[in-house]
Amino acid sequence: MELIDQSCGINAFYEAFGLKTQPDQLVVALAGNPNTGKSTVFNALTGLKQHTGNWPGKTVLRAEGTFCHRNKKILLVDLPGTYSLLATSADEQVARDFICLGRPDAIVVVTDATCLERNLNLVLQVMEISPRVVVCINLMDEARRRKIKVDAAALSRELGVPCIPTTARDGIGLKDLKDAILDLAAGAVKTSPRLVTYEPDVEHAAAELATKIQAFLPQWVNHRWVALRLLEGDTSIIETLCDPLEEELKGVVLKKEAAAWER
């Protein structure tokens, strides 16, 4: 019963996003900072020809495409490029809601090898929500040109999730990326994501709050993460999560977008 309810809820959620999923299809989200070549990775994986441009914020429309790898069908959802998931803007909220509520089978975070440090902020935030993360270290050619060395194996060890170096516009590393996505999405590989350790009093307050809200939250969501959002004063996520009816869940997502327009 529980299972059926959950899958109904998620389908309603996908519908609210305008997505049609097939039963045997894996859903994979593509996140990343703006201007990391996310659209290029998306095109390279799906074979679609969305226009890519060299300016932050090119992908304002959510795009989706499918591809097959090792006989598995995968629906790839290109999320808006964001620097964080703290949901201060509409596109950050879209990305966050999709990663959290959409519960994709895997999340690929595309990063720019030439400025990895800034990109890791987003990776760390995504890993707090879901352990099913693959990091795509893109623009390796540019990093090489600028004499920047990125040790992908070391990064995988540090983060506890697979990290794949790519040069998407030349198609380099894409097979490895697809393998990693599929292994993770199909459950063949388990990750142990490194979580950010906060200051002791924040950790303590979060743990305390997490036990309080536990009863209201679905099992699949990371309670510590929700508690941290509440501590920051962001109640939008818990309101969406606790809505009992799927219809309302759909409504809330849409209403929230509409509310952004009310002056």
Partner 1 sequence: MGAVNHSLASLLSEIDSEKYSKKRQEIRDSIVSSIYSCAETIAGKVVHHQYERRTELDQKIDNVLTSRMLGIPIMLILLGAVLWLTVTGANYPSQMLAVGLFWFEEQLTKFFLLVGAPDWLHGVLVLGMYRSLAWVVSVMLPPMAIFFPLFTLLEDLGYLPRVAFNLDRYFKKACTHGKQALTMCMGFGCNAAGVISCRIIESPRERLIAILTNNFVPCNGRFPTLITLSMVFMGGAVAAAYSTAAATVMVVALVLVGIAITLLMSWLLSKTVLKGIPSFFTLELPPYRKPQVGRILVRSLLDRTIFVLTRAVVVAAPAGAITWILANIYIGDLSIIGHLAGWLDPFAHLLGLDGIILMAFILGLPANEIVLPIMIMSYVSAGAMLELDSLNALRMLLVDNGWTWLTALSMMLFSLLHYPCGTTLLTIYKETKSIKWTIFSALMPLGVAIIVTLVVAQLAFLLGLV
Query: Which one among 11, 121, 236, 240 touches partner 1, defined by CB under 8 A?
Result: 121
Q: Name the strand (E) or helix (H) holding 123.
A: helix 116-129
Query: Please, which residue, 19 or 160, has the CB nearer to partner 1?
Result: 160
Residue 261 in the binding site for partner 1 (CB under 8 A): yes
Site for partner 1 in 155-214 (CB under 8 A): 155, 158-159, 169, 194, 196-199, 202, 205, 209, 212-213
Among 2-10, 63-71, 150-158, 181-189, which window interacts with partner 1 (CB under 8 A)?
A: 150-158
Among 8-16, 19-27, 153-161, 182-190, which window interacts with partner 1 (CB under 8 A)?
A: 153-161
Query: Please, which residue, 46 or 114, has the CB nearer to partner 1?
Result: 114
Q: Which tokens is 33 given?
A: 């900072």
Question: Which contacts qualify for 199-207: CB closer than 8 Å, 24 or more apart?
Answer: 202/228, 202/231, 205/231, 206/231
Residue 219 in the binding site for partner 1 (CB under 8 A): no
Query: Please, which residue, 73 or 245, has the CB nearer to partner 1?
Result: 245
Q: Do 152 and 164 touch, CB atoms closer than 8 A? A: yes
For residue 169, give the 3-state DSSP assignment: helix
DSSP at 51:
-
What burial letters (b/e) apply to 85-102, b meaning 16+ CB within 10 Å?
bebeeebbbbbbbbbbbb
Query: Please, which residue, 73 or 232, has the CB nearer to partner 1?
Result: 232
What phi-psi label fits residue 187: left (phi over 0), alpha (psi between -120 and 50 degrees) or beta?
left
Site for partner 1 in 4-63 (CB under 8 A): 34-35, 49, 51, 53-57, 60-61
- Shortest Cβ 71–partner 1 spacing (Å): 30
Among 18-26, 70-78, 147-155, 179-187, which window interacts with partner 1 (CB under 8 A)?
A: 147-155
**Which amino acid would we find at residue 199?**
E
Compute the distance between CA of residue 30 and CA of residue 121 in angstroms, rounded to an integer: 16
Residue-by-residue DSSP string for 182-237: HHHHTTSS---PPPPP--HHHHHHHHHHHHHHGGGS-TTS-HHHHHHHHHTT--HH
Query: Please, which residue, 197 or 219, has the CB nearer to partner 1?
Result: 197
User: Which candidate, 122, 120, 61, places its Cα nearest to that of 94?
Assistant: 61
Residue 88 in the binding site for partner 1 (CB under 8 A): yes
Q: What is the dihedral of CA 186, 192, 194, 200, to 10 degrees?
A: 120
Among 1-9, 17-25, 68-76, 253-261, which window interacts with partner 1 (CB under 8 A)?
A: 253-261
Residues engaged in binding partner 1 (CB under 8 A):
34-35, 49, 51, 53-57, 60-61, 80, 86, 88-91, 114-118, 120-121, 123-125, 142, 146-152, 154-155, 158-159, 169, 194, 196-199, 202, 205, 209, 212-213, 215-216, 228, 230-233, 235, 238, 242, 244, 258, 260-261, 263
